[in-house]
Amino acid sequence: MNHMGISPSQAASDHLATDREHIQVQRFSVAYEFPVCFTADLFALDNPVLRDTLQRLETNKRHKIIVFVDAGVLAARPGLADAIGAYASHHGEHIELVAAPIVIPGGEQIKQGLDHVIAMQRAMVGHHIDRHSYVIAIGGGAVLDTVGLAAATAHRGIRHIRVPTTVLSQNDSGVGVKNGVNLFDSKNFYGTFAPPFAVLNDLDFVEALPVRDKRSGIAEAVKVALIRDSRFFAWLEQNVGALAAFERDAMAYMIRRCAELHMRQIGQGGDPFESGTARPLDFGHWAAHRLELLTKFAVRHGEAVAIGIALDTEYSVLAGLLDAEDGARVQRVLSGLGFELWHPALETLEADGYALMRGLRDFREHLGGELTVTLLNGVGIGLEVHEIDETLMLKALSHLKERGAK
């Protein structure tokens, strides 16, 4: 008992009660801003874009950079490493290239586990890359995802510059804020939300791509047009021939407009780090992700997205959400661009039914237990729904197969 007549146990109890009633709310906001530049011949000695990007926050400083390059890009452009070295030397007052560009695998193989992430971070440590240095990734979406993860988790975040080299990465993933690799048989299980320092899109990289890779990325333009911009979809309809032939001006506009729409959704959609359950930019993706896994990534992401768009469009028509003629317009555009809208793996069976349908369960789990799938309520009008009639979805799948067999 103390001099006030209160026992120590009573004082502790009163203090605990007070603590239970006392809540302080910590609140702050962090503004993110990064440039997305559209250029050509990025490493030409007289192109100031990269130099000026490095100088954006601190002028009159010599910045360390470490560069990771997609092996496939380097095979297509064998002079690239020398061009990067020459550029750094020419702008040596501002750029210190700490090592020759480091070659890393491209495609989904780099995203299988953490081995490549750790190897890149070991290189960063070895070359004393700190939070005021720059990690530059040159490659497709898988490379950007993996290098971005390595940069975001080294020193709790090193400045990361993306140089996307595919249509898909220039018009979609490159301007996003996500990084990640596949782990535990789950796509992008291990990752971060970490915006890049800058995105530098060089159209010349796109022109060097194989036909299949050029086509693949156009699916994301169809996707974002369908959920957000009917005028852009009409432009895609009118320019199907030019896009199918990969004409430079048409490709340049398609990439830029698609990137703008993705940026608008991420920046103004109210949920850039996906805290909620809505994923409008994942229209067509629940099936696409599952199809990629079922084919062990033999079907490219954009090819799978085209099929996923076709499937969810057909479901939207069958569910009475979308006019049948608008549904036919979508199918014509995708087919006109050269996409195959059927794959035998869609009919893969498991003990409990179609393996594809597990994609809906995976999506539900990824979203925290509440399923949210984007469908179409019109061209340019996405609609979020929380239930999918699996019988009706299988009917939509049957319709896709019938068209694919013709």
User: For all residues of the chain together, what is the average pLDDT?
Assistant: 91
pLDDT digits (tens, 9 = 90+) for 31-83: 889 999 999 999 999 999 999 999 999 888 899 999 999 999 999 999 999 99
Answer whether 104's CB lies under 8 Å from 181's CB. no
Mean pLDDT lowest among 14-18, 119-123, 260-264, 348-352: 14-18
Give kind and range of the element (H or E) at residue 291.
helix 285-294
Question: If pLDDT is split at 50, 70 and 90, which confidence band does 369 have?
Answer: low
Give kind and range of the element (H or E) at residue 403.
helix 390-404
pLDDT digits (tens, 9 = 90+) for 327-336: 999 999 999 9
- The CA radius of gyration of the chain, in Å to the nearest whole number, is 24
Answer whether 137's CB lies under 8 Å from 148's CB. yes
For tokens 């070991």, the residue is 122
Output the six-digit token pair for 212.
């299949």
- CA pair distance 63, 41, nearest whole angstrom: 21
What residue type is 283 in one-letter code? F
As annotated, the residues of the chain forming the CATH 1.20.1090.10 domain(s) are 211-404
pLDDT at 368: 63
Per CATH, which fold does 36-207 belong to? Rossmann fold (3.40.50)
- C-alpha distances out from residue 384 to 80, 282, 343, 373, Å: 44, 11, 26, 6
Mean pLDDT lowest among 87-96, 269-278, 307-316: 269-278
User: Which of 1.20.1090.10, 1.10.1140.10, 3.30.1130.10, 3.30.70.580 would CATH assign to domain 211-404?
Assistant: 1.20.1090.10
pTM above 0.75, yes or no: yes
Checking if the pLDDT of 406 tops 90, the result is: no
Mean pLDDT lowest among 12-16, 243-247, 285-289: 12-16
Rounded to 5 degrees, what are φ and ψ at 405?
Answer: -80, -15
As annotated, the residues of the chain forming the CATH 3.40.50.1970 domain(s) are 36-207
Mean pLDDT lowest among 87-91, 139-143, 272-276, 359-363: 272-276
pLDDT at 338: 97
